[in-house]
């Protein structure tokens, strides 16, 4: 299972997972998550109107497919893709129940400059139901 958000870090994580799967005979599932924001300050658990859901899932699927194409050129058909609804941390932790390994990038779109590990990565490491690999990309090598 690989968490993807379209960032360079998530593409690096997906490429690492594809290489690992190739060497071990495992399958790769790339998962992207999104949510409709709730009230200010509240958790992102609101349900999106159907028109918003359809348009957003179309955009998220395009982001996911682009990341797969970058990470696994010529091998896209070997990567299963899926979209989860909810905060990325919770979607990945929930999905880890059915995974042998969860792979995430060290920083995604929401990372603060200078952080070595993003908040989603930290939450996955501490909350996942399977081992977690955090892949540091070239942008993390200072």
Nearest to 31 by CA among 110, 91, 116: 91
Set out the domains of the chain in order of their start, with CATH numbers.
2-140 (3.40.50.620)
Q: SS3 for 87?
A: coil
Query: Tell me: the pLDDT tens digits for 88-142?
Result: 999 999 999 999 999 999 875 554 444 445 688 999 999 999 999 999 866 544 4
pLDDT digits (tens, 9 = 90+) for 27-57: 999 999 998 776 665 555 567 778 888 999 9
Distance in angstroms (rounded) separating the CA atoms of residues 17 and 83: 18
CA distance 103 to 92: 10
Q: Which of 32, 30, 90, 92 is nearest to 56 (CA)?
A: 32
Nearest to 105 by CA among 73, 139, 62: 139
């Amino acid at each position: 299972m690989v968490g993807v958000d379209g960032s360079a870090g998530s593409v690096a994580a997906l490429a690492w997972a594809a290489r690992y799967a190739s060497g071990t005979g495992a399958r790769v599932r790339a998962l992207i998550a999104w949510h409709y924001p709730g009230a200010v300050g509240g958790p992102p658990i609101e349900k999106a109107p159907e028109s918003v859901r359809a348009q957003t899932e179309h955009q998220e699927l395009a982001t996911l497919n682009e990341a797969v194409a970058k990470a696994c050129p010529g091998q896209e058909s070997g990567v299963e893709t899926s979209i989860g609804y909810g905060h990325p941390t919770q979607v990945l932790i929930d999905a880890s129940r059915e995974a042998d390994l969860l792979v995430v990038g060290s920083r995604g779109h929401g990372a603060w400059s200078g952080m070595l590990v993003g908040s989603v990565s930290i939450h996955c490491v501490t909350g996942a139901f399977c081992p977690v690999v955090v892949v540091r990309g070239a942008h993390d090598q200072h």
